[in-house]
Amino acid sequence: MGLLDGKVAFIFGIANHRSIAWGIAKQLHEHGATIALSIFNEDMRRRVEPLAEEIGCEFVEPCDVNQDDEVDAVFEKFKEKYGKLDILVHSIAFAPREALGGRFTDMKREDFKLTLESSAYSLVALAKRAEPLMDEGSSIMTMSYYAAEKYIPDYNAMAIAKSALESITRYLAVDMGPQGIRVNAISAGPIKTLAAAGIPGFRSLIKHFDAVSPLGETVSVDDVGKTAVYLASDLSRMVTGEIIYVDSGYQVLGITVPRDEM
C-alpha cells in the first residue's frame, strides 16, 4: 500500500529533469499517486514527455498561468479525464532578467507586476480552479524561498513575490480550511535549476549555503519531493498555512559562520 494510492496529483512547473516539480512528481508517483502535468507551452513538450513516460503520466498539457482562458482550459481538460483532484502542486516562478540583480530601487513597475503575477498571483488562479474538484483531505502546495523573509542579494522582485506567495498560502489556507483543503508552502534551499540560473551569483550562494548550513549539503529535488509526499498525504492532516523548510537547516542560523571556522 502506497501512502498516496488512489490520489490524483496535478503538477504545474515542470521544465526539465532539474525542475523541483520533477522531483515532486517522481516522489508522489513512487508513493502511489497518479500524476498529471502542466507545462508552460508546447515548446516544452519534447523535454517533458519522456519524463512523463517514466512515471506513467498520461496527461501533459500546456498552460500559461498568466492567461485565464488557458488556466480554465487546462482545468477543463483535467476534469474531463480525472473528474477529481487530490493534490495541486504550484512550482512556478518567473521574473524578467532586469528584475533580478542590480539596484533594487531601480525596479521597473512592469517588471515588478509581471514577477508578482507569474510567481504569486498564479497560485490564487490555480487554487481557485482546483477547489471545486477537491474533497476533504486534499492538499495544495507551493514552492517558496528564504528571500521571502530576509534580504538575499539579487533576488529583488522575486523576494517580494515570495513574501506575497507565503502570505497567499496563509489566506488560501483560511479560505479553504472549512472544506478540509490544506494549503502549505515548502521553502527549499538553493538548487541548480533553470529558474535559479537567472539569479546572478547563484553559484556562490550554493557554495556559501553548503559551507554554513547545519546539514552541510545542497538540497536536491528529491529531498523537496519527499516533503511534498508528507504534505500530500494524511500524515499532514492537521497542517495548513505552514511554511515547511527543506533547507539543510539554514534558516535557523542567526549568524552564518562556515562550519570549518567555528
Query: Does 35 help bind ligand NAD (rule: CB under 6 A)?
Result: no
Which one among 194, 215, 235, 257 touches ligand NAD, defined by CB under 6 A?
Answer: 194
| Sites for ligand NAD among residues 44-83 (CB under 6 A) | 64-66
- To the query of whether residue 230 is one of the catalytic residues in this protein, the response is no
User: DSSP E strands: which ranges in 116-225?
Assistant: 139-144, 182-188
Could you tell me how many residues of this chain bind ligand NAD (CB under 6 A)?
Answer: 26
- Determine the Cα–Cα distance for residues 85 and 65; give it in Å rounded to an integer: 18
Nearer to ligand NAD, 179 or 206 (CB): 206
Q: In angstroms, what is the minimal distance from the CB of 132 to ligand NAD?
A: 21
> Cβ 32 to ligand NAD, closest distance in Å?
23
66: left (phi over 0), alpha (psi -120 to 50) or beta: alpha
Q: Pairing state of beta strands 87-90 and 60-62?
A: unpaired
Rg (CA), the chain: 18
Residue type, 210: D
Please report, for residues 96, 144, 149, 239, the alpha-carbon distance to residue 174 in angstroms, rounded to integers and kept in the order given: 32, 19, 21, 12
Which position among 145, 146, 230, 245 bears the catalytic label?
Answer: 145
Q: How far is CA 55 from CA 63, 164, 221, in A?
A: 21, 33, 16
Within 13 Å of residue 99, how many CA atoms lie on the same side as its CB?
20
Please identify, using beta-carbon distances, which residue of 2 and 62 lies nearer to ligand NAD: 62
Q: Is 151 a catalytic residue?
A: no
Stretch that binds ligand NAD, among 133-141, 191-199, 233-241, 253-261 (CB under 6 A): 191-199
Q: Which three cell numbers stand for residue 256?
A: 552564518
Near ligand NAD by CB under 6 A: residue from 89, 183, 191, 244: 191
Site for ligand NAD, rule CB under 6 A? 13-15, 18-21, 40, 64-66, 91-94, 118, 143-145, 188, 190-191, 193-196
Give the active site residues. Answer: 145, 155
